[in-house]
Amino acid sequence: MAQITKSQIESELQRLAEIIVAQSNQLPTVDDNQDFARPNISFSSDGTLYYEAYERGEQLFSIPAFDLEHLMFMTFKDTTFSMAVEHERMNRNTNEDFRRQLFAKQVELMRTLNSDWAERTQKEIDATLRTAPFNDELTA
């Protein structure tokens, strides 16, 4: 993988965030681990990029990125999920499984960014729904 700079990552995060109107606090930090489970993009000494998060000093996850596109997919999969949660909360339909709206909004946001990302996200959602299908009868 070619060396990617902090500036390139920040620029791409900002560009994509503007497309879906994501707020800066919905994005990961770059080379600035703030703990508190906020995702961060870090650089290893060999130039490998990691999408990671820590909480109270404990690593929650650390995923190596293959390239800038893969890094942005991982980042915006989380960002769009957070945005979709907020959308669902503000537009709750008590007659259906809350995930219907949440998943649809997330895929819509991902499609706005990149149709391949939307397809990948939908496949992950479909896998989740095979083991935990929608249940509109459990709504409150």
- pLDDT per position in the chain (140 positions), as tens? 468 999 999 999 999 999 999 999 999 999 999 889 999 999 998 889 999 999 999 999 999 998 999 999 999 999 999 999 999 999 999 999 999 999 999 999 999 999 999 999 999 999 999 999 999 987 55
- CA 137 to each of CA 31, 109, 132, 134: distance values in angstroms, whole numbers, following the listed order: 45, 27, 14, 9
Classify residue 78: in a domain, yes or no.
Answer: yes
Classify residue 132: in a domain, yes or no.
Answer: yes
Classify residue 1: in a domain, yes or no.
Answer: no
pLDDT of residue 140: 54
Classify residue 50: in a domain, yes or no.
Answer: yes
**Residue 38 and residue 121: Cα distance in Å, rounded?**
21
Classify residue 120: in a domain, yes or no.
Answer: yes
Classify residue 87: in a domain, yes or no.
Answer: yes
pLDDT of residue 2: 61
Full domain range(s) for residue 28: 6-138
Look at the chain and report how many structural domains it folds into. 1
Classify residue 22: in a domain, yes or no.
Answer: yes
